[in-house]
């Protein structure tokens, strides 16, 4: 069965070897150039009445927040460097704005978009600039995503193993690239951050030392990594798949079906616990794109593994304000990053 046509894995009642549930749904058709609103039918489901009204209100709120976040013009970087030969294997660097004394922490940012092709690092550039204007050095990482059109229509989520190859390669190359492209950056003080699917990749990138040592992605921990601030992350791939987050994105990312369990164990932050890495998750309580339950599941599992993580749930906040420089939620995110970085 071709990857693009793989059926979703059957839901399991529990975890097997740290990985057994599955779920993820991101609205199809979002682009950084012209985002499409969240579809009301996706949010409301069948029926009407109070539940239908609540669903339509949630969908309208999400569409407004998305429109506001995507309304910012992309911000050109101060420098760009390649970590591979492909056109998508690049990192944009943003120097800290204003007067700074000495090297400053380097924030490594990974954009979201359900690992799908139309959503590139451009839509995260206003957020990168927002952090730079708060005295931080920023590396905005691009990586290979899914094909623009999958057989039968729609957008495919991610490429296996290319998406993970790129994140690993970018993180390995980053210190040397930053020393040249951004001398103001202190590569001995790194913080990983990412939004949505990028939050998943940031958490995964910080947990590579937990992978089997024969994995090409394995890397030992580095004292330079201060920790992770994950924003509405797809932190529990199995639960996200069960919830059908992002229109089946997790199933697409880890397909075909017969490979799903083995790939889940390698790609799922939940399955890689405990990590020993300081981690903070920030999630809006009103998020209908990646429900807060996904972050709560990861936080609960971390606590059970003896590794409590920070979980900040923001009232009256959905999916997109976390990366919208004009939103109060974005200031909360910046403060979480600054506290970890400094």
The answer on pLDDT for 53 being more than 50 is: yes
Q: Is 243's pLDDT higher than 60?
A: yes
Q: Two tokens at 334?
A: 């910046």
Question: What confidence score (pLDDT) does residue 153 get?
Answer: 62
Question: Are the C-beta atoms of 6 and 257 separated by less than 8 Å?
Answer: yes
Q: Is 31's pLDDT higher than 90?
A: no
CA 66 to chain centre: 16
- What are the pLDDT digits (tens) for 74-127? 999 999 999 999 999 999 999 999 877 789 999 999 999 999 998 999 999 999
Q: Which pLDDT score is estimated for 52? A: 84
Mean pLDDT, rounded, for 192-214:
98
User: Average pLDDT for residues 190-198, to the nearest whole number?
Assistant: 98
Burial class (CB in 10 A: 0-12, 13-18, 19+), 256: middle
State residue 152's pLDDT score.
Answer: 60
Residues 138-181 pLDDT 10s: 999 999 999 766 556 678 899 999 999 999 999 999 999 999 99
4 has a pLDDT exceeding 70: no
Of all helices (H) and strands (E), which one includes residue 57? helix 49-70
Characterize 261-270 residue by residue with b for buried, 16 or more Cβ atoms within 10 angstroms of its Cβ, and e for exposed.
Answer: bebbbbbbbb
pTM of the model: 0.86
pLDDT above 90 for 38:
no
Which range, of 30-39, 43-52, 113-122, 193-202, averages the lowest pLDDT? 30-39
Could you give the percent of the chain with pLDDT greater than 90?
A: 77
User: How confident is the model over 312-338, as a mean pLDDT?
Assistant: 98
pLDDT at residue number 100: 77
Q: Is the pLDDT of residue 254 over 80?
A: yes
Higher-pLDDT residue of 151, 196: 196
* Across 11-23, average pLDDT: 32
Per-residue pLDDT averaged across 257-273, rounded? 96
Q: How many Å apart are CA 86 and CA 143, to the nearest integer?
A: 9
Q: Are 217 and 164 in contact (CB under 8 A)?
A: yes
Mean pLDDT of 287-299: 98
């Amino acid at each position: 069965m071709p990857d693009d046509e793989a059926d979703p894995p059957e839901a399991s009642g529990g975890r097997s070897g740290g990985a057994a549930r599955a779920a993820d749904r991101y609205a199809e058709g979002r682009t950084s150039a012209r985002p499409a609103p969240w579809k009301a039918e996706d949010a409301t489901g069948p029926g009407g009445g109070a539940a239908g009204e609540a669903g339509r209100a949630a969908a309208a709120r999400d569409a407004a927040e998305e429109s506001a976040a995507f309304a910012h013009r992309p911000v050109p970087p101060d420098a760009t460097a390649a970590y591979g030969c492909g056109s998508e294997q690049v990192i944009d660097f943003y120097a800290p704005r204003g007067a700074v004394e000495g090297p400053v922490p380097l924030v490594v940012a990974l954009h979201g978009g359900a690992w799908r092709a139309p959503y590139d690092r451009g839509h995260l550039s206003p957020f990168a600039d927002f952090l730079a204007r708060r005295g931080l050095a920023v590396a905005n990482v691009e990586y290979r995503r899914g094909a623009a059109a999958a057989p039968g229509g729609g957008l495919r989520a991610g490429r296996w193993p290319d998406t993970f190859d790129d994140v690993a390669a970018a993180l390995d190359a980053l210190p040397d690239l930053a020393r040249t492209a951004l001398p103001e950056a202190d590569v001995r003080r790194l913080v990983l951050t990412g939004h949505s699917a990028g939050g998943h990749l940031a958490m995964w990138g910080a947990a590579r030392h937990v992978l089997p040592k024969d994995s090409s992605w394995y890397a030992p921990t580095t004292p330079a990594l201060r920790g992770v601030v994950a924003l509405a992350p797809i932190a529990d791939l199995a639960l996200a798949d069960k919830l059908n987050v992002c229109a089946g994105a997790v199933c697409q990312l880890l397909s075909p079906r017969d490979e799903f369990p083995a790939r889940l164990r390698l790609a799922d932050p939940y399955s890689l616990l405990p990590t020993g890495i300081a981690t903070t998750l920030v999630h809006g309580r009103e998020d209908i794109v990646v429900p807060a339950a996904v972050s709560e599941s990861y936080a609960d599992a971390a606590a059970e593994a003896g590794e409590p993580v920070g979980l900040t749930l923001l009232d009256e906040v959905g999916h997109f304000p976390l990366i919208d420089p004009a939103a109060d939620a974005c200031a909360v995110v910046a403060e979480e990053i600054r506290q970890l970085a400094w």
